[in-house]
Amino acid sequence: MIGRHPGGQEMTARLLALPGIHPPARILELGAGEGKTAAYLRTLGFEVRAVDLKPSGPGVEQGDIRRLDLAGESFDCCLAECTVSGCGDGNAALREAFRVLKKNGCLLIADVFFQKKEAPSLSMGKPLIWNCWKESFEKAGFQIEKAEDETEAWKEFFWESLWNGNAEESCVDFFIEAGKAGCGYFLACLRKGEKNGFI
C-alpha cells in the first residue's frame, strides 16, 4: 500500500529533506486526516500539531486550514500533502500557512498540477497548471526555494489505488478527469522571509 498520498511515508521524508529541517522544529500539518504522518513526524522528534476539517485519528485536532485558529508566526514549518488543491479555497490556505509561519519558516507542499490549459481548477480558482501554482505561491508571499517533479509517483499511486480498490467512487471520477488533463505531481519548499516582503 503506497499510502493516502503518492509515495507514502517515503515521499514525506523526501519532502522534509528539501529544506533540511531537523527536530525539534515545530511543524503544523495541514489536512492531517488519520494522523499517520503526524505520528511519523513525532517519532522523528518534531513538535507537531495536526489539523483537519474532519479529523479521523488520534493526535489530530479539528481545524479549517483556510481559517486557522492559531497564533501568527508560531511554527517553523507547515506541511501540506494533497490538501491545498482540494480544500475549497487553496489561496486562503496558502495565506494562512504564511501567517502562522515564523520568519524564514517554510511551507512544504506536495500536490497535483496539470499540463493542459483546459485543466480542472479544483480549489485554486483557475486551471491548475504549474504557472497557476507559482502565481498563487507568490501572491501569498512565498518564494519557491526548491521544487521537484514527482509525476511518476502519482502514476504509481493512480494505478495502485485502482488495482487494489482503494479509491472511492468520487476519486475514480477525478482520476479519469486528471488523466485527460495530463496530471502531474510536485514537491516544493516555499520560504517565508525578507525577500517575500516580510520584515
For the residues 128-145, what does the mean pLDDT come to? 96
Q: Residue ranges per domain, the chain?
A: 8-192
Cβ neighbours of 152 (radius 10 Å):
12
Interval 74-125: pLDDT, tens: 999 999 999 999 999 999 999 999 999 999 999 999 999 998 888 889 999 9
Of the listed ranges 33-37, 140-144, 170-174, the one predicted with least confidence: 170-174
For the residues 132-158, what does the mean pLDDT come to? 88
The answer, yes or no, to whether residue 1 has pLDDT greater than 80, is no
For the residues 167-186, what does the mean pLDDT come to? 68
Residue 31, CA distances (Å) to 54, 68, 111, 195 in order: 9, 11, 12, 28
What secondary structure does DSSP assign to 58-76, as a single string?
Answer: TT-EE-BTTB--S-TT-EE
Better-scored residue on pLDDT, 178 or 187: 187
Backbone angles phi, psi at 191, to 5 degrees: -110, 140
Cβ neighbours of 21 (radius 10 Å):
19
Per CATH, the number for 8-192 is 3.40.50.150
Do 93 and 30 meet the contact criterion of CB atoms below 8 Å apart?
yes
Confidence of residue 17 (pLDDT cuts 50, 70, 90): very high
Better-scored residue on pLDDT, 171 or 129: 129
pLDDT in the model for residue 173: 61
pLDDT in the model for residue 193: 72
- Find residue 50's DSSP bridge partners: 29
Interval 18-72: pLDDT, tens: 998 999 999 999 999 999 999 999 999 999 999 999 999 999 999 999 999 999 9
pLDDT in the model for residue 199: 28
